[in-house]
Amino acid sequence: MIDRLRIAGAKTIAMDLEFTHETNVTDDNALIEAVGRARGKTVLAATEVEKGGRTDVLGGGKLLQELGSRAAEVRLTVDSDGSIRRFAYSYNELRNFAVAIAETATGHVIPASRFEGGTLPIDFAGPPETVKAIPYSDVLLGHFPPDFVRGKIVIVGASAPILQDSHVTATSGSGQMPGPEIMANAANTLLRGVPLRDVPGAVNVGLIVLLGFAVPLGSTRLRRRRSLLDALALAVVFAVATQVEFNSGVIIAFVYPLFALVVGVLGTLIVLYVGEAIVRERVRLMFSRFVPAGVVDDVLACADENLRLGAVERDCTVLFSDLRGFTSFSESQPAARVIEVVNYYLNEMTEAILDAGGTLISYMGDGIMAVFGAPLEQDDHADRALVAAREMIGPRLDSFNAWLAEEGFGHSFEMGVGLNSGVVMAGNVGSTQRVEYTAIGDTTNTASRLEGMTKDSEAMLFISATTRERLSTSLEELSLVGEVDIRGRTGRLSVWTIWPEGVGVGTNGQPERPVGRSAV
């Protein structure tokens, strides 16, 4: 084989065959003589290498040196996934087979300093069988064109899978590449000046850190869907950049940075999911105090991704209420008792509002603001508001006064309620630290002023004409109080009321005080 290749003009003959089995003197001498005739052209594979690079190929290094040949180790560098992508400079100080081939072909020594980190990436020419091959028997019998090997590096070795010298590589896909072809690609990588180079390890570490933290840091104020889109965009950009750099000869670690990105995305999604769940539950608890429990989910469904209710113009009925004479009462009571009274009163009135389907907007001391018809639309918002108002000035106020008597306060209260209907602007208002749901506009202002005007009246409830127009029931119970001037409005407003049970109404629409009962 060596003689045939030498005569055909092969530049370098690399025998990727094991020389470890004992033969006989005749065969050994025949091989030695053939190697001698191909002086300076042969590289013989070694699989057993002692420290210092010593081998037993043809009896050791001294005879090889006399013959002008050399031994080289054929150990392959396998990555953690079982693929071969790199090759080492040496093993136990004996040159790698590919390094020895390149040195023999060029006549120049390749310094170890070219192997950064001890290995170099193989620049594969393509998938298996890219490197041309001819059968061993054809060469042995001389049945091949000499031009096929003239002036070329020839590697002799096993390609049949049964000989177990086939391996998975970066370009073999699901198949395998024969060991001699891997060595051919590795030697060609050196002969071409090592066209592929690894970026410094610090760059890969930086990319791992960058991609690992990019989505978590960039998504602290985003939602889950946006985080997924950002991660996908970042992965595409990184993949394209890695391929572009590879095409220019620079190898950037791909798997570990991408894995860090995936871990970062999963961690971010978990944090955002848990955070949103906590916020949603907090908002649920908040809304459950201000709207009926049965509509909390519907209210949350109307909220945006930040769980805020956007501003809308909506036809609503606004309710304001206030406890009469509470300021003077509180001045004569200890602070703890005052808070106790306020809490009992607000609890009674809040239940009346929520039971009627209203939304509690705010407490203002002993005052209450509520709205009917927002955030969820209610066609019967005026009727609901009237139901709540009647409950407040009737059974709920009676219950509150009865409790005061039981607690020994020796005091009873009356209250004022104002109802007005119209278009309001409802939504969340406030700063980034604190937001509140509210309803603003002329309708709200008028409702507040109507409640304030009850202080100078015998009635505890003032209902505007706009609310009366929207009522579908109980119109026969309404009594006209009269037309009043409302501060901030140019025209006069008709005001109606409902007198509590037991209070008669005279021909002038005003209450007739029953004997032994104070006017309300």
Any idea which fold 310-512 has? Alpha-Beta Plaits (3.30.70)
The tens digit of pLDDT for each residue in 403-458 reads 999 999 888 999 999 999 999 998 777 676 666 778 899 999 999 999 999 998 88
Quick one: tokens of 391? 């409950």
pLDDT in the model for residue 516:
30
pLDDT in the model for residue 221:
54
Amino acid making up residue 136: Y
pLDDT in the model for residue 214:
80
Assign 3-class secondary structure to 495-512.
Answer: EEECCCCCCEECCCCCEE
Question: What's the whole-number mean pLDDT along residues 108-119?
Answer: 88
Short-list 141, 133, 139, 145, CA closest to 179: 133
pLDDT in the model for residue 216:
78
* Helix orientation angle between 179-191 and 97-106, rounded to the nearest 10 degrees: 50
Longest dimension (CA), the chain: 144
Give the model's confidence band at 181: pLDDT under 50 very low, under 70 low, under 90 confident, else very high.
Answer: very high
How far apart, in whole angstroms, are the C-alpha atoms of residue 290 and residue 313? Answer: 20
How far apart, in whole angstroms, are the C-alpha atoms of residue 72 and residue 101? Answer: 9
* ∠ Cα 486 492 495 (to 5°): 80
Pairing relationship of beta strands 94-95 and 90-91 according to DSSP bridges? antiparallel
How far apart, in whole angstroms, are the C-alpha atoms of residue 291 and residue 371? Answer: 10
Quick one: tokens of 241? 């950049």
The tens digit of pLDDT for each residue in 101-110 reads 999 999 999 9
How far apart, in whole angstroms, are the C-alpha atoms of residue 64 and residue 43? Answer: 10
pTM of full prediction above 0.85: no
Short-list 6, 314, 344, 311, CA closest to 152: 6
Quick one: tokens of 115? 């192997």
- Residue 10 pLDDT more than 50? yes
> Any residues with CB less than 8 A from the CB of 159 and at least 6 apart, and which?
133, 165, 166, 178, 180, 181
The tens digit of pLDDT for each residue in 34-74 reads 999 999 999 999 988 888 888 888 887 788 889 999 999 99
List 424's β-bridge partners, or say none.
314
Domain assignments of the chain as residue spans, ordered by start: 2-195, 201-286, 310-512
What DSSP string describes 343-399? Answer: HHHHHHHHHHHHHTT-EEEEEETTEEEEEES-SS--TTHHHHHHHHHHHIIIIIHHH
- Residue 301 pLDDT more than 50? yes
- Residue 215 pLDDT more than 90? no
Amino acid making up residue 13: I
How far apart, in whole angstroms, are the C-alpha atoms of residue 271 and residue 284? Answer: 19
Q: Name the residue with tokens 């970042």.
A: 234
Burial class (CB in 10 A: 0-12, 13-18, 19+), 386: buried
Which carries the bigger pLDDT value, residue 351 or residue 197? 351
- Residue 514 pLDDT more than 50? no
- Residue 203 pLDDT more than 50? yes
- CB 85 within 8 Å of CB 122: yes
> Any residues with CB less than 8 A from the CB of 355 and at least 6 apart, and which?
292, 388, 391
- CB 131 within 8 Å of CB 182: no
Quick one: tokens of 54? 């010593």
- Residue 202 pLDDT more than 50? yes
Question: What's the whole-number mean pLDDT along residues 282-286?
Answer: 67
Report the share of the chain in percent with pLDDT over 90. Answer: 51
* ∠ Cα 120 124 129 (to 5°): 140
Give the model's confidence band at 287: pLDDT under 50 very low, under 70 low, under 90 confident, else very high.
Answer: low
Quick one: tokens of 64? 């090889």
Give the model's confidence band at 520: pLDDT under 50 very low, under 70 low, under 90 confident, else very high.
Answer: very low
- CB 486 within 8 Å of CB 462: no
List 492's β-bridge partners, or say none.
485
Question: What's the whole-number mean pLDDT along residues 370-392?
Answer: 93
How far apart, in whole angstroms, are the C-alpha atoms of residue 201 and residue 117? Answer: 10
Give the model's confidence band at 293: pLDDT under 50 very low, under 70 low, under 90 confident, else very high.
Answer: low
Strands (E) across 289-353 are located at 312-323
Question: What's the whole-number mean pLDDT along residues 346-370?
Answer: 92
Give the model's confidence band at 144: pLDDT under 50 very low, under 70 low, under 90 confident, else very high.
Answer: very high
How far apart, in whole angstroms, are the C-alpha atoms of residue 160 and residue 407? Answer: 101
pLDDT in the model for residue 348:
95
Residue 462, phi then psi, degrees to nearest 5: -115, 125
- CB 400 within 8 Å of CB 413: yes
Q: Which of 129-138, 147-156, 304-313 has the lowest mean pLDDT?
A: 304-313
Indicate if the alpha-carbon torsion angle 455, 456, 462, 464 is positive or negative.
negative
How far apart, in whole angstroms, are the C-alpha atoms of residue 100 and residue 85? Answer: 19
Pairing relationship of beta strands 177-178 and 166-167 according to DSSP bridges? antiparallel
